[in-house]
Structure 1
Amino acid sequence: MNKLIAGAVAFAVLAAPSLAATSANAAEWAVDHGASKLIFKVRQGDKLISGSFGKWDAKIDMDPEAPETATIEVTVDTSSVATDDGQMGQTLTGEAWLATGKFAKATFSSDEVVPTGEGTYDAVGTLTIKDIAVPMTLPFMLKVDGDKAEAKGGSTLERQDYKIGSEIDDATLDGTVKVEFDVVASKK
């Protein structure tokens, strides 16, 4: 569950800076949610479970000439989690997992984007799930074509860092959750 949320947040965060990096000045980008994906994968026993978050929003302010001055704020609706395993999808919203009744949102905030190569960046920030804030660096690739941009990336998260499914050991449900995103946006 934690990995799902973290994955979604990571995806949204990574996609947002990528899209913003397409103009010489700070720019606003409109995310095309229909063309964008924020997914997570976690191993349960011998089965790989995939999931996503259907509702998230991103505020991005980034000058590609000075990415270190960027600010990114991604908010994920934790109740919008869905998986390819119906039973797990229902479980994730529960108190021992994402506790969506008490913690409706997860956030990723960054005030620093670091270039790591040609068209690649790290968004340095903090991921907050269930009011637990953990530093996080999210690597991504950015491709800009005119007023359109696409950011792809991913990372891994440790569900125990956020007390998600804490009673479930790593042999039953892997403690590491893989998060992947592909964000498509248009310049406003």
Structure 2
Amino acid sequence: MKLKHLLATALITVAAALPAQAAEHYNFDIKGQHAFIEFKIKHLGYSWLLGSFRTFDGKFTYDEQHPENNRVDVSIETASLDTNHAERNKHLRSADFFDVEHFPVATFESSSYEPTGKESGIIHGTLNLHGISKKIDINVEQIGTGNDPWGGYRRGFEGHTTLHLSDYNMKKAAMLGPVAENVELFLSIEGVRQ
């Protein structure tokens, strides 16, 4: 009985001495390019036009015990927009749309995180695009986490949200018609723990 009591006391002491699981900080895996920001928009209502931003960076904090501490920050070079068509890219980068000369960077900064499941949630935050800041919500889901073959530790998520062109004062957005008002944004982000 005394032995059981001593073992129980020892276990409690060790547990108390262990540090609490703290928030983990991750950088987007840009070097290995295991991160993607893609979008799709309807072309005249007949098909989907697909595109992506090739140059961006970001970081996120993940706290399993206290998800309210989760956050993410992203910076995107708007001139890196690519729709696999040179003339269309040029037009979208012009003053008619993204005006990359005057607004070379778009940013997203989270303000809060709302869990919706064990590995899913909604990131609330502010997107600054084309000189306009708007509150948006991004639905996120964890895809996986664990050690990598190079001695690091990774965590990956996907996210979805819908943007509205009229919110960002793009001069020629109306010429695309009402079916092009909504832009579906998809993010696949793998982070390396720091």
Structure 2 length as normaliser, TM-score? 0.78
Higher relative contact order (CA 8 A, sep 6+): 1
1:66 is matched with 66
Contact 2:76–2:107 (CA<8 Å) still a contact in 1? yes
- Inter-CA distance 24–138: structure 2 relative to 1 (3 Å threshold): farther
Deviates more, 1:80-89 or 1:149-158: 80-89
Question: Are 1:28 and 2:34 counterparts?
Answer: no
Question: Are 1:154 and 2:160 counterparts?
Answer: yes
2:169 is matched with 163
Contact 1:25–1:63 (CA<8 Å) still a contact in 2? yes
Residue type matched to 1:54 in 2? R
CA drift of 1:164 comes to 2.1
Identity %: 21
Question: Are 1:53 and 2:80 counterparts?
Answer: no
CA drift of 1:176 comes to 0.5
1:165 and 1:178 map into 2 onto residues whose CA distance is: 19
- Inter-CA distance 106–59: structure 2 relative to 1 (3 Å threshold): same
SS at match of 1:127: strand
Structure 2 unaligned spans of 5+: 1-19, 148-152
1:108 and 1:187 map into 2 onto residues whose CA distance is: 20
CA drift of 1:162 comes to 0.2
2:141 is matched with 141
Contact 1:67–1:112 (CA<8 Å) still a contact in 2? no
SS at match of 2:34: coil
1:117 and 1:87 map into 2 onto residues whose CA distance is: 43
2:16 is matched with none
Q: How does 1:36-115 map to 2 (within 5 A)?
A: 36-45=35-44, 46-115=46-115
Segments ≥4 residues shifted beyond 3 Å: none
1:85 and 1:24 map into 2 onto residues whose CA distance is: 48
CA deviation string 1:38-65 (max 9, x = no partner): 1100111223211111111113233222
Structure 1 length as normaliser, TM-score? 0.80
Contact 2:23–2:69 (CA<8 Å) still a contact in 1? no
